[in-house]
Amino acid sequence: MPTSPQQTEPTPEEERAIVETLALILAAYLAAQATFAMVQAAMAPLRLPVKAVELAWDVLWSIATQERSEGVSGPLRPSERQQATYRAWFLVNSAKRIARDLSAGKPVEEVFERETRYARQHETARNDRQVAAEAAEMVADESFQAVGFRVFRWRYRPSGAPCSPVDGVYCRDLHGKVFLSDRPPKGRYPGMWHVNCRCQAVPVRSLKSATIRDATRVR
């Protein structure tokens, strides 16, 4: 459904706000019907065809695994908030792709199959990120017992082969630095800096006075 001349596309800031709202909805782990009603309302400012939003939701819901039971309350860990955001971005981008394809006359079955394939790839990567994030949080919990702060130290060379020479440039720069668990560099934990990243988070046993201040600066 094309936008009329009087309508304008959401700005990048508005789109990010939509994604943040979607992430909160997805992180609530409500029943499918209730969640979709809220998703539709949140995505309304994107002015996408209802069919595109419905198909994108069907794709995501069909392959997404829920880490929490429906209706479970309690504070979300940083990794849970982050993974909900990844899913929210996928939902928005998928709906946009579907809208373009349907407008171009592509068969619904073909579009659904392709988006399902993309979603599975997305979920595989999401699961890998989740494992890396949870490992870093476990290390941060261990560090808290030792130094009173939830932090981790970045290790570039874990046991086994290091990261590739090209991608490893960034990992080498991070090696040895300490980060707050809820503020990893560019939102990425060790093991998720790039594809096949082999970096690890290790506990922090002692801290110098400036370490925490430096950790908040390296973003």
Q: Residue ranges of the domains in the chain?
A: 12-106, 142-217
Give the model's pLDDT for residue 181. 86
Segment 172-198 mean pLDDT: 85
Residues contacting residue 83 through CB under 8 Å, at least 6 positions apart:
67, 126, 129, 130, 133
Reported as a single tens digit per residue, the pLDDT across 39-59 is 999 999 999 999 999 999 999
Reported as a single tens digit per residue, the pLDDT across 88-135 is 999 999 999 999 999 999 999 999 999 999 988 888 887 888 788 888
Q: Which residue has the higher pLDDT, 214 or 123?
A: 123
Q: Is the pTM of this model over 0.85?
A: no
**Number of residues that make up the chain:** 219
Distance CA(156)–CA(166), nearest Å, equals 13
Let me know the angle formed at the C-alpha of 65 by 142 and 96, rounded to the nearest 5 degrees: 115
